[in-house]
Structure formats: C-alpha cells, structure tokens
Structure 1
Amino acid sequence: MKLKSLSFLLVIVFLASCTSIYSTVENVNNKKTYDSKEQYIETVNKKNHIAKEKIIILKDDELTTFMSEIVSKRLSTYYGIANKSYFVSAEQLSIKSCSGQMTSLYKLFIADDKGIKKSDASEIPFLTNLQLDNSKNTVIFIYSHKLGGMIKSKINGVIDTLEKENNFDYRVISIDNPDIINKTR
C-alpha cells in the first residue's frame, strides 16, 4: 500500500513539474528585456546564429496587424514564403510548426507546384518593409526569444537545410517588441 501511495505521489509531482522542467531545460518563456533594438539583434545573432541583417523588428502598429494575422491563421514559427511575384502562407501546413513540412512547402514553391495556394505578393502590404531580394525565394520565420532552445530545430534546421538551394533567402520577424525598451535607437 505504501509503495502504491508513493508511486502515485511521484506521478503527481512529475506531472505538476513537467512544464517547469521543460521550461528550464529549453529556456522557454524566459523574462528578459533589451535596452535597444541593437542589443536585441546582437543577442539574437550571437545566441542563435541568425544574420543580423535578416532580423526584422516591425513597428508597433505593423506588429499588431501581424500578430492578429498569425493568431487568426494559427501560425507558429513559420509565416510563409515570398518572392517578387508570389506569397505562400504557412497556413497550408497541416502541422504549422513542422520544419519538415516547411522545407517541403519551400521545394513545392520553387517547383511552381499547382497544388499550393499562392497569393500575389503585392497583396501582402508589409512584405515591402522586409527588404526582400527580388531574385530570391524568401522563407519568413516568426521569432520570439521566449521560444528558448526550440529555435535551433524550428528555424535553424530549415535554414541549414535550404541554404544549399539556389536562390534561397530568409527573414526572421521578431514578435518581441514589448521586451525592447528603446526601439528608436
């Protein structure tokens, strides 16, 4: 009887602490602020090996619109793929955070597969602010430092796989604006 009670107690403790163990191991939902955009970009670059010029911090009003869209489309980590003519939303992925599906979607995009839904790139207003190279196919990621160690598999994994492709490029849109104290510097 004692062994059964002890086992039950251990299961309860494990289940109750699972979230905090995962958060600690993966450094998820950490509370951190940055004094400036430059400090934020420098930190993201060093910690995640993402090129500084690829990190985009939207203006607060653009971020509000962007956040509404990613919430309504239930996007996670991946926003989509764009070139000078077309935009393909990651909304088409059955598992919105699956790096393998994003890689496959990119390959369908460059193959001009008729099975994927394309929008006219000019219909996505904020794409013009991302300084896309019109000769490239650009994967657009959604990033938050609160994702912790998950970034390595979700974003860096796709970048590492696709950077061997001709005409591949990427941008990483930060949604961490509330954590950047001075966005004007």
Structure 2
Amino acid sequence: MNPILLKPCGGLGCQVIVQGKVYANLGAHDYYRQKPRLVRRVMASFRRLQAAHELIILEGAGSAAELNLKKSDLVNFSMAKRAGAAVLLVADIDRGGVFAATIGTFHLLTMAERRLLAGFIINKFRGEPALFHDGVEIIQTRTRRPVFGVLPFIPDLNLPQEDSVALERKIRHPGETGQERLRFGIVRLPHISNYTET
C-alpha cells in the first residue's frame, strides 16, 4: 500500500498520486493544506487492508523525528498512532552514527511517541555481530527499549532503489548459463523519479 506517492517534478513541487491516480501537482504549502483530505484517503486505504489482512507493515519515510515536520506529518509516528501500531526503528550502522540514530531519536520523541516505540533493529552490520554486544547494551540501557536484532551487511543485494539518485550505480544480475542476455537502457531525463516505472 502506498496511498500517497510524491514524485518530485522539478523546482519545489511534486506530483501527488493518491490511491494510484494523479491527484495534483502541488508545492509544499498546498500539499500540507490538503492534509485533512489526504488523511481520510490514507485511513480508508489502511482500513481496507486491515479488513483483509492479519498483519500490516507500515514503512516510514525520512527520519522518525523530523521536528519541523511533525505537525503536518502523514507518516512515521503520526500514522503509527492512527493505526495503533507498534514502531520498530531500523538504524543503518554501515553509514555510521548508529548511537545518534537510535538514542538521539529516542530523546527527540514525545512521551506518547516513546510509548509506541517497541524497540530497535540494527541493519547492515559488517563483521561478527557478537562484537557489537556492548553497543546493544548501550542502546538498551539509554532507551529502555530492546534491540531485537543485528542484521548483517549483505553485499550485492541489489534491491531496487526508490529514487533516481540510484541511476548513478550500475546493477548487474548474472543470467543463467546458456541464456541470451537482454540489454536495455533508461534515458536519464532531468526530472526522472521512481525509475522502476519505466
């Protein structure tokens, strides 16, 4: 489910797609003015999924603690609160700053948001996870929340990227022996986004 998709269209605006249909091209102020109407559409999508499925996973966007955006946020803790969902914060240790990402974020949350935070997952750890045992203890002690796991870094995973920035990186998938190779290209237009649509 992605009830609202924002596709940058150059400058300060974006194309807003709601429930799979183009809604409008909006600047940030106009987008936030539409929030009450958009929240209703998001919740209608959520309730439809909730009626059909036992488990729904909500993915946030950006940082979980964007203080300047909290009042108008439709995702992250705002959506978790509306859905009555527990929150898992996934921190990327490969980029560095995992303690700032976990402990720092925790301390920026309101008390209501902290009650929703079930714990943490540490992602993209290189090396032996046992070597990060002290790190797990530090996070758990300072947040009083569990670290549910330390996931390894997996090289060449090649998951599709969400943004056009990923066009800088070439991805190769080896074909099976004896198969013909299919070559294709994507024209890099100046305002392309979500290139998986091509």
Normalised TM-score (structure 1):
0.28
Structure with larger RCO (C-alpha < 8 A, sep 6+): 1
Normalised TM-score (structure 2):
0.26
Structure with greater helix percent: 1
